[in-house]
Amino acid sequence: MMRLSLRFIVPLALALGAIAYSVAPLVDELTLKWFVRDLDIRAKLVASAAQEPLAELLTDKLRDKVRLQRVQAFFNRMLQDERLFALGFCDDAGALLYKTQALPGAVTCRAPGVPAEESGTVLKLPGGPLHVAASPVMVDSERLGELLIVHDMSFIERRSADTKKYIVYLFAALGAVIALITVVIAELSFRGWIAGIKALIHGQSLALSPEPKARELRPIARDLDALVRDLETERRMRDEAQISWTPEALRSILREDLKGDEVLIVSNREPYVHVRRSDRIETQRPASGLVTALEPVMRACSGTWIAHGSGSADRDTVDTNDRIRVPPEKPAYQIRRVWLSNEEEAGYYYGFANEGLWPLCHIAHTRPVFRASDWEHYQAVNRRFAQAVEQESRTEDPIVLVQDYHFALLPRLIRDRLPRATIIAFWHIPWPNPEAFGVCPWRNQILDGLLGSSILGFHTQIHCNNFFDTVDRYLEARVDRETYTISYGGEPTEVHRYPISIEWPPAALARQRPVAECRERIRRELGLAPETRLGIGVDRLDYTKGILERFAAVERLLEIEPRWIGHFAFVQIAAPSRSRIEEYQSLDARVRAAAQRINARFGTPVCQPIVLRMEHHDADQVYAHYRAADVCFVSSLHDGMNLVAKEFIAARDDERGVLILSQFTGASRELVEALIVNPYDTEECAAALRLALAMPPDEQRDRMRRMRSLVQEFNVYRWAGRMLLDAARVRQRRRLAGATRRAAQVVDLRRV
């Protein structure tokens, strides 16, 4: 800045100085004229003052010598005026009779007959310029001669030199000020421009950003902005239109768009749990929507999945680095297990995550519990996972997919350790409105943690909007709903909707027997007659799933349509979950009691209306039940997505079966051909069951066909693919921003 300013200011100041120097003589000439005119007037005044005494001296009868002495003395008195240089007196014949000593020889009397000058003349002598004026001396209209009045003009020269000097200084100073102002404005404009380009590269709207920008660059910025957005929309549209989202499509994104960059997943639940069963170790796949969705993605990506090692034989199956390659039958990626003590698990998982955040985010009317000790564990465990991410990453800028509410703090902690990582956090459960979220004592820390992500995903737009509102309410952040971006501290966070899904076709489907066989087998296993109509519900045993509401609907159906008694059974598979928590224990008891009560009321020797299976079922068993059922009932009171609904559809390659779906699931936004119900409305749910059991095969087929094609198209590879494409875009922007920064540094260096 200093150098640039000097380079600009000095020449400009010199140029202006030179101009001033050439302008000065003009000013000089002008001021000389003014001074000459002043001296003319002054000379007249002097002459008029001297007129009378001089005339007296000249006409008095005095001897010549005395007259000379007296005139001399008079002139000398007059010369006390410091401006007067010399005086003289010429008679009418043009003879110089009296003069003071200093009168230069060049000053002579006017020859007789030569007309008198109107104004004085300027004599340029080596000693300096003199102003010479002649004024007649009269007595009663008789002319005695002329008084020569000589003024010293050297003071004018001195003044003119001073004026010249001041004019040059003034112009030079003026030049410097103008140059300085110009340089400052230019610098500010330049910075604004650079900031604008940076903002553009970071994905912010230049035109709409409230940051001060160079005014003159705004139209260009707007155009650039629009262009980038158009390209992105086009690109996204092309991706959306890509119909076959397969593991291969995902691999090609990793290869081409992400150039083989490293992918790490972090979740609490691991995809494979090793459990000790007396003398052998069993591998289990947990009942988790998250695992169902991410496992096929990971098989395609071949990265590392970091998760809590929760199985009783987990430690026995890992290598010295706590890693194990999976799937057991055909290893494609590795799990890195993180060990937690019982206290840590109690505080972080059962406590803060599942007694605090889970009820906080689900509108199921269960009060959240927040304990300071749980929060301590939650923070510590998040830190531990951040450390594991750092240990596992081979590069400085991996792509890290952080899963769910167990790790709200993790994005920020990873960002601190790996500033160049691309962090995608996905929140698998609903995000509540600001009032509901506001009761959490550590709400700001949670928001801050999540805003460490590059991209934050939710299933639905409502949850994205709730998040925007929450940040707006509690943090000093810039929320741009037009570009779906939140700027809070460092890197901006994009917030997008990515509705999760399942793999297509599901691996478990390939292992299934034909539908007729499944129908027959399951009924046989349940001790039901072959023609019994079957409903199915598959959930973790959780109060958000609306299992009791579902049973109430079955009960009501049997009340209003007794012909189903003995001919309709509802199988509820409920995988035990979070059973150390009191609320879940009480739910377990209430579910069992409700089933017993309804069975006691409507059961027959050959058919119990509620068949409760409170145990873990593997995917093959679950799919067999889906295929055997006439109706699948998903009655969640609140659910981020609910993948059971999508699995049921995927399982029905015979295009039969009816899905009843709660309006409070994310899935109901997509699966509009399901029978959508309010689970709190028992009458409506019973009517839906009735309708489902009576639905003609053609209608079942039409509905199922549409839903199948939607799930096929919007499968989990697309869900992951869209996030990875967005990650690729963010990384590309960061690379460009890096290039701009480096260019800016070069400019800075050149300036220094």
Q: List contacts with ligand F6P (CB under 6 A).
A: 268-269, 288-290, 404, 428-429, 540, 577-578, 640
Burial of 716: CB neighbours in 10 Å, binned 0-12, 13-18, 19+: buried
Residue 337 or 428 with smaller CB distance to ligand F6P: 428
CB of 431 vs ligand F6P, minimal distance in Å: 12
Provide, rounded to whole angstroms, the least separation between the CB of residue 400 and ligand F6P: 17
Q: Which is nearer to ligand F6P, 268 or 635 (CB)?
A: 268
Identify whether the C-beta of residue 149 lies closer than 8 Å to the C-beta of residue 87.
Answer: yes
Nearer to ligand F6P by C-beta: 429 or 689?
Answer: 429
Q: For residues 269 and 299, which CB has a smaller minimum distance to ligand F6P in the complex?
A: 269
Shortest distance in whole angstroms from residue 279 CB to ligand F6P: 27
Residue 285 or 731 with smaller CB distance to ligand F6P: 285
The C-alpha atoms of residue 506 and residue 305 are separated, in whole angstroms, by: 21
DSSP 350: I
In angstroms, give the least distance from the CB of 640 to ligand F6P: 6
CB atoms within 10 A of CB 192: 19
To ligand F6P, the closest distance from the beta carbon of 404 in angstroms equals 5
Angle, CA of 553, 555 and 558, to the nearest 5°:
110
- In the three-class reduction of DSSP (H, G, I as helix; E, B as strand; rest coil), residue 371 is classed as coil
Q: Which is nearer to ligand F6P, 43 or 429 (CB)?
A: 429
CA atoms of 231 and 200, how far apart (whole Å): 13
Q: Which two structure tokens, joined as six digits, stand for 571?
A: 């199988």
Measured CA to CA, the distance from residue 694 to residue 630 in angstroms comes to 10
Could you tell me if residue 260 is left (phi over 0), alpha (psi between -120 and 50 degrees) or otherwise beta? left
* Closest to ligand F6P by CB, 164 or 578: 578
Contact 484, 463 (CB under 8 A): no
Nearest distance in Å: CB 648, ligand F6P: 16
Cβ closer to ligand F6P: 345 or 404? 404
CB of 289 to ligand F6P, least distance (A): 4
Under DSSP, the state recorded for 604 is: B
In angstroms, what is the minimal distance from the CB of 623 to ligand F6P? 17
> What are the strands of the beta sheet with 323-326, ordered from one edge?
323-326, 333-338, 304-308, 263-267, 399-403, 422-426, 455-458, 493-497, 485-487, 478-480
> Least distance to ligand F6P from the beta carbon of 342, Å?
16
Q: How far is the CB of 290 from ligand F6P (least distance, A)?
A: 3
Q: Name residue 444's amino acid.
A: N
H helix runs in 325-371, sequence order: 342-344, 358-361
Which residue of this chain has its Cβ atom nearest to ligand F6P in the complex? 290
Residue closer to ligand F6P, measured from CB, 273 or 707 = 273
* Calpha distance 406→550 (Å, rounded): 29
Distance of closest approach, residue 247 Cβ to ligand F6P, in angstroms: 21
Dist. CA 691–CA 675, nearest whole Å: 9
What's the min distance (Å) between Cβ of 311 and ligand F6P? 13
Q: In what order do the strands lie in the sheet with 675-677?
A: 610-613, 568-575, 533-540, 631-634, 658-662, 675-677
- In this complex, which beta carbon is closest to ligand F6P, that of residue 617 or of residue 733? 617
Q: How far apart are CA 471 and CA 697, in angstroms?
A: 49
DSSP state of 354: I
Q: Cis omega before residue 11 (within 30°)? A: no
Q: How far is the CB of 353 from ligand F6P (least distance, A)?
A: 8
Q: With respect to ligand F6P, which residue has the nearer C-beta, 290 or 447?
A: 290
The one-letter amino acid at 528: L
With respect to ligand F6P, which residue has the nearer C-beta, 109 or 429? Answer: 429
148 DSSP assignment: E
Instruction: Closer to ligand F6P by CB, 540 or 625: give it.
Output: 540
Q: Which is nearer to ligand F6P, 268 or 460 (CB)?
A: 268
In this structure, the strands spanning 128-139 and 121-125 are antiparallel
- Which lies closer to ligand F6P via its Cβ, residue 214 or residue 649? 649
In contact, 513 and 304? CB cutoff 8 Å: no
Please calculate the CA angle 170-175-180 and round it to the nearest 5 degrees: 130
Q: Which is nearer to ligand F6P, 88 or 289 (CB)?
A: 289
Cβ 286 to ligand F6P shortest distance, Å: 6
| CB of 425 vs ligand F6P, minimal distance in Å | 13
86 vs 632 by CB, closer to ligand F6P:
632
CA 624, CA 622: separation in Å to the nearest integer?
5
DSSP per position, 412-469: HHHHHH-TT-EEEEE--S----HHHHTT-TTHHHHHHHHTTSSEEEESSHHHHHHHHH
CA angle 582, 433, 726 (to 5 degrees): 105
Min dist. Cβ of residue 705 to ligand F6P (A) = 28
Least CB distance to ligand F6P at residue 269 (A): 4
Sign (positive or negative) of CA dihedral 605, 607, 609, 610: positive
Determine the angle formed by the axes of helices 697-713 and 643-651, rounding to 10 degrees. Answer: 120
Cis peptide, bond prior to residue 327, ω within 30 of zero: yes
